[in-house]
Structure 1
Amino acid sequence: MNRRTYQTALNELKKSVIEMADQVLKNVRQGLQSFEKNDLDLAREIIKADDQIDMYEEEISKQALRIIWKEQPIAQDLRLVTTILKILTDIERIGDHASDISEIALHLEGHQFSRDLTLVLSMAKHAEHMVQNAIEALVSEDAVLAKLIIAQDDMVDDLYKQMIERSAEWIKDDVDDTPYVISIILISKYLERVADHAVNIAEWVIFLVTGSHKNTPLY
């Protein structure tokens, strides 16, 4: 593999990660929509689509390993391939959360929806934005952007706390609606985890640029 072909392989690896991340974020959006609209057909589609995410993870892992085997990359290139192998797990788990949200929608078949989901939708928006920026930071190898993403996690955590407090009020006002409210809490927790995965990705981007992970030198 000559230098040009080698660089193309690295660029293709990044491109594959972008495609996988785009798909998992689409699944999260549609999973939340399946819950919000009580769309059971959409929920089933998202659950089934999780298989595609698993295939993405497997294929990208193979791409990365082929580069290691054939080229034995060093320095920055080795850190790039290592970073991608690490963040694949986070991206795949975001896809799992999309499926989890859709499973909740299926369990609530026939339920009358009557709660304000503004906080949940705001959490989803912020978490999605964090993941998008984390992938952008990876592609551009931007440690400054990665650090900004980590700082944004506090906003999602605050929204989650607000959602817990509001949910407690809802249960107090109408105990019969408890199963639905608990479902909202679970979805909020999944979205909070999506933001956590974005932070994990950002931390590995910092490793890519600096050679240190969580202030611990690894290279």
Structure 2
Amino acid sequence: MASPNHLDWPNCLNARDVGGLPTSDGGAIRLGALIRTDNHSRLTPEGIAAVEAYGVSRIIDLRRDRECESLPSPFARTPLYCHVAVQNPADPDNETMTLDEIYITMLDLRPALFATALGAIADAPPGGVVVHCAGGKDRTGMVVAMALRIAGVEPETIGADYALTEGRLASDSAAVLEGIADLRIREIMRGLQPTPPRIILNTLAHLDTKYDGVAGYLETGGFTAAQANALRTRLRA
């Protein structure tokens, strides 16, 4: 099952509420608790108003500093905004790796940063939490996947939700490819655009194998048991 809760936040292309996703014990993620999107720099005034009207209490921006400076968030100077970069400025982009290899490398390299991002969801004021990066695909995909896993959502369900992003970003992805003159780089980028479920499933399997699961991985970065409990309570209906 994938979330049908696509949000009309003009001009956000990849906004959806993951509420309704089932948990392994027969429960579900609460509607309005966790929203995943692409970056907000293109939001119209109507889009900004729609975000504010949705009951959002925190917006977590996972982008690097240079991305935030290039395409600033319209919420950056508001109490809603929380910038938690999950990459160090010196970290490589690793474009020559497969997408799941990139994810695994990022996670292994920066557990403390990802733990901070998950902690920002758990510790947010009452209300909905929006998580975004540039396209709402990679960094957002990893953070949301880990949050859902802590809340008890099965990997296959997480993979189905992750796969929805490809269609939402299709027009932007095509435009990116058209703007790349170097054919070699264009083909590398083309290979990084699809979001089949296996990408996030391989990533979660790596965390299971190396860290005994998402909780074990986040614990190495300083995420506490109290935060895990708060996250579950926040997300579950």
TM-score (norm 1): 0.29
Higher helix fraction (1 or 2)? 1
Return the index of the structure with the highest Cα Rg: 1
